[in-house]
Amino acid sequence: MYPTERRPALGPFVRDQVEALRRIEGLELELHSFDPPGGMTPYVREALTLGRRYRGSRFDVVHAHYGLTGACALAVRRGPHVVTFHGDDLRLRKTAPIARLVRRLIDLPATVSAGLARSEAKLLGEPGRGKRVAVLPCGVDLERLRPIERREACQQLGLDPDARYLLFPADPARPEKRYDRARELADDAGVELLHYSETPPERIPLYVNAANSVLATSEREGFGLASLEALACDVPVLATDVGIAPLALAGIDGTLCAPYHRGAWAEALRPHLEHDDPRVEGRGRAEMFGSRRMAERVFKVYLELTAIANPELAPL
């Protein structure tokens, strides 16, 4: 869950959280990341690597993202463990049993949204033995995601600045993102549908700003960063009512948060496709979920765990 040269789109939101945490005074952060080629074997190898690398080391907190990575992190034996679960690690048949085991062994399970914590309460279990489930979103990088004139964004992408575009903000190969819905809307409107998969995070703002509207058509989301990325750029977004979207889009004119319905969504799209550079007042809402603000929330949890593990360090 961290970008690599081979896979630049692998968990950029985790990288954003790491970089935001690095800016917090009083926190020293050591990063260990890896890029598993597929299957379970690389995770076993990585657990052995972690065990060797950090044998005898003690950390105030060991924080992993994603259930399988959390299992690897248990090889770092000294220090309280936090694992942030992102959604599919709690749902997929291959990973859910491991996530359930990890939940029992760590000090604090966390999810990226309150909705995910509620929907997966059966797997996460009731907070017995003094445990609770924290909600620790990664947040949106407001320095990278910002408004850019649509014509400029199109030119940088090699697109016709006078054409109309819709953006499907995900990899079409991921079935839960429902590319078919976005494709249907674009075909009905007679406009080009953009998408990204292995796109470097630095180029994502160009795609968002080049679009007349972002179509977040997912059938499920752990968090749903795409809606916030659109808002950070003041770009209209239509999203299904999953993940953070109901909270993020509430009351913002020019956006839609509703179950997918072809006719209703097409009607909501129409004014955005008629405008040369449609915008909404969304950045203020995105700032509520900025990566720096969310990192401060994570750091607060670190301090709480440190105080529990070391009562003598608790503030008077």
Structure tokens at 195: 């998408």
CATH code of the domain in which 191 resides: 3.40.50.2000
Cα 204–chain centre separation: 14
Least confident of 103-112, 119-128, 193-202, 290-299: 119-128
Looking at the fold, whether 192 and 103 belong to one and the same domain comes out as no
Looking at the fold, whether 119 and 158 belong to one and the same domain comes out as no
Structure tokens at 11: 């968990």
Closest CA to 142 of 223, 233, 215: 233
Looking at the fold, whether 57 and 45 belong to one and the same domain comes out as yes
Closest CA to 91 of 76, 77, 111, 63: 111
Looking at the fold, whether 36 and 74 belong to one and the same domain comes out as yes
**Predicted local confidence at residue 246, as pLDDT:** 96
pLDDT in tens, 260-270: 999 999 999 99
Mean pLDDT in residue range 53-57: 94
Angstrom CA distances, 262 to 70, 266, 298, stand at: 40, 6, 39
Specify whether the CB–CB gap between 112 and 305 falls below 8 A.
no
Specify whether the CB–CB gap between 76 and 59 falls below 8 A.
yes
Specify whether the CB–CB gap between 270 and 250 falls below 8 A.
no
Q: Is 35 among the domain residues?
A: yes
Angstrom distance (rounded) from CA 76 to CA 98: 17
Structure tokens at 221: 């989301």
Looking at the fold, whether 273 and 169 belong to one and the same domain comes out as yes
Q: Is 4 among the domain residues?
A: no
Q: Is 159 among the domain residues?
A: yes
Answer yes or no: is pLDDT of 139 > 90. yes
Angstrom distance (rounded) from CA 136 to CA 212: 31
- Work out how many domains the chain is built from and give that number: 2
pLDDT category of residue 128 using cuts at 50, 70 and 90 = very low
Written as one letter, the residue type at 152 is E
Print the domain residue range for 230: 150-287
Q: Is 144 among the domain residues?
A: no
Written as one letter, the residue type at 87 is G
Q: Using CB atoms within 10 A of its CB, is residue 156 exposed (0-12), middle (13-18) or buried (19+)?
A: middle
Q: Is 118 among the domain residues?
A: yes
